[in-house]
């Protein structure tokens, strides 16, 4: 029995229990090593209807879509139709944000690696028509600039919508048509959907959320975010196996399953080259052109995560080892599922080790945490950091705008404890029960 066969047998045995332990209704996992691929499914797509998850089920991939959008842009680079370092206004003269000086200088490269540095959590619904992304650009006119372009890493959903609009304008057709013509078709993705209208003809997962903290998971009442955010990951869904076909193209130097060129080797390499080093957050060690990059013991890994309304997806690939894993889920605590599965797959097949979870150091000296106290406001969340009588820090997030509309109850989550570790401008947030700690970077 090969190592891949052993992984497959382990998945089929372990996956149902792993989902139950983490309150995940359903999941599909696909793993490839070289030309071989295996997949496994467990659980249900919808806890109300009881429809079982199968390996052909579609799940939303969320922000993993950004890598597909970046690939569409790099195809234009290959064709000589896009210069990554030219101002966005070269292709979109109408591009405006509140800071006119910044708008004149922002480039496609900066959009792709999240250093355009204007506020990025803009999820305004501009309709379902083919002009929705074009209309979305008008929404950005009053969006503030947070830093000078290129100065800081600041994850930017809106920036990828702008990149998607560049693809539309240069190609002369709607974004979803570009996706289908230039990626779905040459890659032979038979189980991929650009929107709910395409997804409905497949066996498709529904997200699950807690209406109030600690409550039983329920199917979401909204399946997808606005179509205007499609290039950033608002609605693209596919089966795990098809997601791996996309990843394998990047592992194969841009060649599709039939041996045809989908992307040039030069563009594949460029996408995997670090463009910006990340702060101490749980999103890799650097960012390439679309890809998150992880410098891990045993080698480099590229990938991306995705989250939508009650659904989460994870994609990791090991260049040079021809190994990749895709995990798609529809609620609960998916990070634990990812950690166990990806940890074993990447170790046994790719020879790399996932980092352990960040944990508080009980021996760390106390730091003056007064500079962190305050209220931080964005268009989607109000975050309050407070200090109690014993000097402990607490973080409380209250969803606003569209993020509040995702649930029936607009209630804040239980506050997380914040622990200052021995690193400047860095905290650990979370709770020891269950053990879930995450780095928080403060600029």
Does residue 309 share a domain with residue 273? Answer: yes
CATH classification of the domain holding 295:
3.40.710.10
Which of 224-233, 357-366, 387-396 is least confident? Answer: 357-366
Cβ neighbours around 333 below 10 Å, total: 16
In a domain, 30, yes or no: yes
Does residue 104 share a domain with residue 44? Answer: no
Over the stretch 73-126, which tens digit does the pLDDT of each residue have? 999 999 999 999 999 999 999 999 999 999 999 999 999 999 999 999 999 999
Among this protein's residues, is 435 annotated catalytic?
Answer: no
Please check the confidence at residue 68 and state whether its pLDDT lies above 80.
yes
> CA 395 → CA 283, 361, 376, distances in Å?
20, 19, 10
In a domain, 293, yes or no: yes
Does residue 410 share a domain with residue 316? Answer: no
Does residue 155 share a domain with residue 112? Answer: yes
In a domain, 360, yes or no: no
> Residue 354 — very low, low, confident or very high, per pLDDT cuts 50/70/90?
confident
Does residue 196 share a domain with residue 165? Answer: no
> Residue 340 — very low, low, confident or very high, per pLDDT cuts 50/70/90?
very high
Does residue 126 share a domain with residue 205? Answer: no
Higher per-residue pLDDT: 367 or 250: 250
In a domain, 356, yes or no: no
Domain closes at, from 293, 319, 350: 350
Does residue 396 share a domain with residue 312? Answer: no
Any idea what DSSP says for residue 228?
Answer: G
In a domain, 224, yes or no: yes
> Residue 434 — very low, low, confident or very high, per pLDDT cuts 50/70/90?
very low
Please check the confidence at residue 280 and state whether its pLDDT lies above 90.
no
In a domain, 269, yes or no: yes
Classify 219 as helix, strand or coil: strand
Over the stretch 139-156, which tens digit does the pLDDT of each residue have? 999 999 999 999 999 999
Over the stretch 185-213, which tens digit does the pLDDT of each residue have? 999 999 999 999 999 999 999 999 988 77
DSSP string across 122-160: ------SSTTHHHHHHHHGGGPPB-S-TTSS----HHHH
Does residue 236 share a domain with residue 312? Answer: yes
Does residue 97 share a domain with residue 53? Answer: no
Mean pLDDT of 359-386: 68
Q: Give the HSE-up count for residue 78: Cα atoms under 13 Å, Cβ half-sphere.
A: 19
Please check the confidence at residue 419 and state whether its pLDDT lies above 80.
no
Cβ neighbours around 178 below 10 Å, total: 21
Mean pLDDT of 387-398: 70
Across-strand partners of 286? 277, 293
In sequence order, what are the residues at sequence separation of 6 or more whose Cβ sits closer than 8 angstroms to the Cβ of residue 1?
Answer: 9
Does residue 71 share a domain with residue 53? Answer: no
In sequence order, what are the residues at sequence separation of 6 or more whose Cβ sits closer than 8 angstroms to the Cβ of residue 83?
Answer: 77, 90, 108
pLDDT score recorded for residue 408: 43
Backbone φ, ψ for residue 382 (5° rounding): -110, 120
Tell me the average pLDDT of the chain: 89
In a domain, 436, yes or no: yes
3-state SS of 247-266?
HHHHHCCCECCCCCECCCHH
How many domains are there within the chain? Answer: 3
Q: Of 63, 228, 267, 312, which one is the catalytic site residue? A: 63
Q: Give the integer Cα–Cα distance in Å for 95 and 69.
A: 18
Domain closes at, from 141, 171, 201: 171
Mean pLDDT of 221-245: 96
Question: What sign results for the dihedral spanned by CA atoms 340, 342, 347, 348?
Answer: positive
pLDDT score recorded for residue 409: 42
Taking the model in full, what pTM does it have? 0.89
Domain closes at, from 317, 350, 383: 350
Question: Buried b vs exposed e over 397-429: b needs ≥16 C-beta within 10 Å?
Answer: bbbeebbeebbeeeeeeebbbbbbbeeeebbbb
In a domain, 203, yes or no: yes
Does residue 137 share a domain with residue 77? Answer: yes
Which residue segment(s) compose the domain that 403 sits in?
Answer: 370-441
pLDDT score recorded for residue 138: 95
Does residue 161 share a domain with residue 207? Answer: no
């Amino acid at each position: 029995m090969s190592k891949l066969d052993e992984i497959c047998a382990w998945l089929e045995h372990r996956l149902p229990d792993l989902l139950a332990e983490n309150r995940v209704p359903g999941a599909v996992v696909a793993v490839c090593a070289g030309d071989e691929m295996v997949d496994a499914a467990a659980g249900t797509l919808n806890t109300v209807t009881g429809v079982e998850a199968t390996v052909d089920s579609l799940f939303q991939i969320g922000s993993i879509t950004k890598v597909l959008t970046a690939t569409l842009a790099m195809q234009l680079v290959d064709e000589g139709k896009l210069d990554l370092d030219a101002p966005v206004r070269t292709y979109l003269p109408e591009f405006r944000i509140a800071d006119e000086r910044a708008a004149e200088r922002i480039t496609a490269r900066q959009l792709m690696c999240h250093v355009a540095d204007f506020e990025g959590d803009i999820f305004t619904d501009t309709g379902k028509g083919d002009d929705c992304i074009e209309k979305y650009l008008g929404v950005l006119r009053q969006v503030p600039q947070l830093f000078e372009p290129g100065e800081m890493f600041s994850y930017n959903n809106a920036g990828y919508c702008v990149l998607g609009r560049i693809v539309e304008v240069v190609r002369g057709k709607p974004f979803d048509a570009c996706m289908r013509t230039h990626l779905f078709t040459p890659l032979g993705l038979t189980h991929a959907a650009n929107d709910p209208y395409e997804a409905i003809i497949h066996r498709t997962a529904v997200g699950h959320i807690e209406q109030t903290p600690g409550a039983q998971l329920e199917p979401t009442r909204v399946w997808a975010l606005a179509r205007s955010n499609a290039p950033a990951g608002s609605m693209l869904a596919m089966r795990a196996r098809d997601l791996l076909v996309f990843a394998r193209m990047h592992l194969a130097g841009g060649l599709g399953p039939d041996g045809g060129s989908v992307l040039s080797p030069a563009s594949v390499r460029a996408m995997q080259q670090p463009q910006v080093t990340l702060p101490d957050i749980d999103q890799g060690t650097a960012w390439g052109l679309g890809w998150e990059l992880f410098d891990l013991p045993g080698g480099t890994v590229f990938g991306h995560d995705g989250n939508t309304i009650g659904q989460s997806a994870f994609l990791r690939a090991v260049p040079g080892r021809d190994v990749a894993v895709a995990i798609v889920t529809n609620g609960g605590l998916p990070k634990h599922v990812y950690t166990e599965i990806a940890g074993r797959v990447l170790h046994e097949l790719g020879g790399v080790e996932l980092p352990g979870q960040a944990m508080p150091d009980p021996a760390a000296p106390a730091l003056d945490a007064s500079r962190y106290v305050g209220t931080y406001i964005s268009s989607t969340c109000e975050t309050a950091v407070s200090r109690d009588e014993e000097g402990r820090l607490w973080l409380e997030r209250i969803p606003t705008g569209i993020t509040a509309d995702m649930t029936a109850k607009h209630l804040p989550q239980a506050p997380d404890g914040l622990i200052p570790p021995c690193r400047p401008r860095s905290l650990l947030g979370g709770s020891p029960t269950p053990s879930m700690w995450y780095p928080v970077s403060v600029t």
